[in-house]
Structure formats: C-alpha cells, structure tokens
A and B are shown apart, each in its own frame.
Chain A
Amino acid sequence: MKNFDFIELKVPAKAEYVGVVRLSMSGIANRMGFSYEDIEDLKIAISEAITNTVTHAYNEEDEGEVTIGFGVYEDRLEVMVADHGGSFDLNEIKDDIGPCKENESIEELREGGFGLFLINALMDKVQIKNEYGVIVLMTKYIHEHEAEVGFDDDQISTTQ
C-alpha cells in the first residue's frame, strides 16, 4: 500500500493559468482537511511559485509549460513547481528577499521580489533547486503551529 497520493498538473507558463492552479490547490487542500487560513496561505504560496516561472523563466519566448506536483500525505501536503525553461539567477533573487525596512525610502522599494519571501513566510518548509530549470519544493503540515500565525517575525526570517 502506498503511503501517499500524487497529483500532477501541467499548464502553459502563462499568467491566465495561475488562477486555475490556485483553484486546484484549494480543492486538494480542502479535501485534506486544511483550515481556511492554511488554504489561503497555500493558494498564495503556489501562485507566487508559478508567477515566478511565468515572469522569470519564459521572458523571451513566451512558450513553455509549468509542471506542478502535489504529494498528498496524511499529515502534510508537498507541492512541487518545476519549470524547464531558461532558469533565472537564484542568488540575485535571494538578495531581493525580505520585508521592507522601516526607514527604507519609497524610491528604494521593490515592486517585485516579495514572491519568494511570501512563500517562505507562508509555508513550513521550502527548498529551491536550480539545476535543470528551477524547482520549488514546499511543504505545509496539517494542524501544525496552530497557535502561531505568520505574524511572527522570527519565524519568517529564519526559514530561508
């Protein structure tokens, strides 16, 4: 008997499909018994991961696909988002991650760059692999951290 279910989804790397994947995520998470808040977090996290591939990886050709895998375990959901297009410079993006600093001037504010930061803030575990294209692997546990919400600054900044 296998101990988890696996669901795979492949969509064109286009912005209009981000919402479609979000709906699938919502359905799977709901079926697994995640709380309303956790489902909202999962929807944002997967949208960020796909938005990244849509805007970074396929800038030039506007062609390509994103593969999404859902590993449904009893206590957790593992989500994998993979693009096999031209990969982006991960270090450059990592430098861009983080919340605003209070004394930061508005001119210096980033318009992008919040995506990976939000994924880290909203998921329990995040791994990014940058070998053949980019793979984001993120995990959220059911019923974990019930008392602590994402507002905890320490929790957010230590996940990377």
Chain B
Amino acid sequence: MNLTINVVDEQPSKSIVYLAGEIDAYTAPDLKEALIPLMRQEDQVVAVDLAEVNYMDSTGLGTFVSALKSSKEYNSKLTLVNIQDRVLRLFQITGLDEIMDIRASIRGGSE
C-alpha cells in the first residue's frame, strides 16, 4: 500500500522517475512533491516509469494532470512509459490518453 519513488538523472536535462507500488490518496501527495519540481526545470525531459505500479486511481490521474500543466508552463516534457494495461485503462476511460504522452512500450505485449 505504499509507493516507492526513485529519481534517476540520466543526463543533466533528462530524468527518469521509477515508481513502484500503489498510487492513491495516501501516496499521491509524495509523488506530486517529487514530480512537480522536476517539471519546473526549464526544458527538462521527464519520463515516469510505471512498470511496477499495480494500482492507481483518480488521485494519480490528478497528479499527472498537474505535472502536465507544469510542463506546459516551464517548457519541460512529461512522458509516461511502461504503463500496465490496468493503469492505462483509467487514462483511456477518462480521455487523458489523448492528451498525455503515454507509451505502453513493453514490446510484444497486448496492443
């Protein structure tokens, strides 16, 4: 019922945020706290790796919407990668998959 957040700076202007666990009302504030400062760096490229996220609800959607807003404001870039089908489904139901840069990216998987 927890979320592990691990930020790796691949290059000075590129970060990968590895998440593992569950994103809900309890853990979303921590995620926001980690993500927003990254998005506020001018021209920063941020990839959020969701491979190990097995549960997410609307609090997670809200956090990523908030990060996307920051990215527009600071000209940074947000991409969600390795997203699991169950989690992707929430983005599809809400229409957010049309607006966010999401890559399922596990090759050979469904879709």
- Residues of chain A touching chain B, judged by Cβ–Cβ distance below 8 Å, are 15-16, 18-20, 22-23, 40, 43-44, 47-48, 50-51, 54-55, 99-102, 104, 106-107, 109-115, 117-118, 121, 150-151, 156
Q: Are A106 and B58 in contact (CB under 8 A)?
A: no
Measured CB to CB, the nearest residue on chain A to B1 is A19
Instruction: State the Cβ distance, B102 to closest chain A Cβ, in Å.
Output: 13
A44 lies within 8 A of B57 (CB): yes
Q: Which A residue sits closest to B60, measured CB to CB?
A: A114
Contacts of A48 in B (CB 8 A): 57-58
Q: Is B66 an interface residue (CB 8 A)?
A: yes
The interface on chain B, measured as residues whose beta carbon lies within 8 A of the other chain's beta carbons, has a size of: 28
14 A-B pairs in the complex with CB atoms less than 8 angstroms apart: A15-B26, A19-B22, A19-B24, A22-B1, A44-B55, A44-B57, A47-B57, A106-B69, A109-B68, A109-B99, A111-B62, A112-B58, A118-B57, A118-B58
B24 touches A51 (CB 8 A): yes
B25–A121 CB distance below 8 A: no
Q: What is B's interface to A at a CB cutoff of 8 Å?
A: 1, 22, 24-26, 29, 55, 57-59, 61-63, 65-66, 68-69, 72, 86, 89-90, 92-96, 98-99
- Contact partner of A47 (CB less than 8 A), chosen from B25, B62, B65, is B25
Return chain B residues, CB-CB under 8 Å to A109. 65, 68-69, 99
B50 to chain A: closest CB distance in Å?
15
Contact A121 B93 (CB under 8 A): yes
Q: Flag if B95 contacts A20 (CB, 8 Å).
A: no
> Which residues from chain B contact A43 at a C-beta distance below 8 Å?
55
When chains A and B are docked, how far (Å) is the Cα of A121 from the Cα of B58? 12
What is the chain A residue whose CB lies nearest that of B21? A19
Contacts A47-B57, A106-B99; is A118 near B72 (CB within 8 Å)? no
Chain A residues in 8 Å Cβ range of B92: 151
Contact A100 B58 (CB under 8 A): no
Extra inter-chain contacts (15) besides given A22-B1, A55-B25, A111-B65, CB under 8 Å: A15-B26, A15-B29, A44-B90, A48-B57, A50-B25, A99-B93, A99-B95, A101-B95, A111-B66, A111-B69, A115-B58, A117-B58, A117-B94, A118-B57, A118-B94
Residue of A nearest to B54 (CB): A40
